[in-house]
Amino acid sequence: MGIYLEEKTIQDLINYRDKIFALAEEVMKNYGIDILANDTLNALSIHEIVKTYDSDYNTNFHRNDEDAKSGDVLIENKCATKEPNKKGVVGNSGWQFHAQGKLNYDRYIFAIRRKDNLKIVRLYDITSAHATTVVQSCLSTLKQKWIDKGKPNHDAIVVSEKLLADIEPIKTVIINNCRVIKI
């Protein structure tokens, strides 16, 4: 089943697109950053939240490196987008990694955003030795399973949000209508 729109609606969408493209061009000229890239949009949304409690947090806008740092600690950020259910609740999700990529970090930040408005609703700031070890162990196991399958072309492995449910939070706070769980 397709979605076909009236010509006037299509023209409205083209006008919105043109405004978005003009802003993206301005950002590219001024900063050399692709503001429309999913990684950039996710990084900015995460930065906005984490910077409120971690003054040393700084986002890396170069692709294929760590996503951020705080002091000397390199951070891997992941953000999943999830459709809320009929009651408006955003259920559990997961975060994709490349099995062939760097998997071990001293800190991870995993976020979940609503598909309907792109706002982050949950953010896990994973800093404790126990929690990072749990994530690293999961990633190692998933990577080994991928290797055992004969290294198929698709190397995505997924850390489930359910993995984090068993880790006792250090602190949970609400920032910008987002539940931040520090583990």
pLDDT digits (tens, 9 = 90+) for 92-122: 999 999 999 999 999 999 999 999 999 999 9
Torsional sign, CA 140, 145, 150, 153:
negative
Residue 134 inside a domain? The answer is yes
Residue 42 inside a domain? The answer is yes
Residue 104 inside a domain? The answer is yes
pTM of structure: 0.92
Q: Output the average pLDDT for the chain.
A: 96
Residue 119 inside a domain? The answer is yes
Q: What is the CATH number of the domain that holds 140?
A: 3.40.210
pLDDT (mean) for 149-175: 93
Q: What percent of the chain has pLDDT over 90?
A: 93
Residue 41 inside a domain? The answer is yes
Domain residue limits at 115: 37-182
| Strand blocks (E) in the chain | 57-59, 68-70, 73-82, 94-98, 107-114, 120-126, 156-160, 171-175, 178-182
Q: Per the structure, how many domains does the chain have?
A: 1
Residue 1 inside a domain? The answer is no
Does residue 151 register a pLDDT over 90?
no
Residue 32 inside a domain? The answer is no
Return the higher-pLDDT residue of 45 and 64.
45
Does residue 65 register a pLDDT over 90?
no
Residue 3 inside a domain? The answer is no
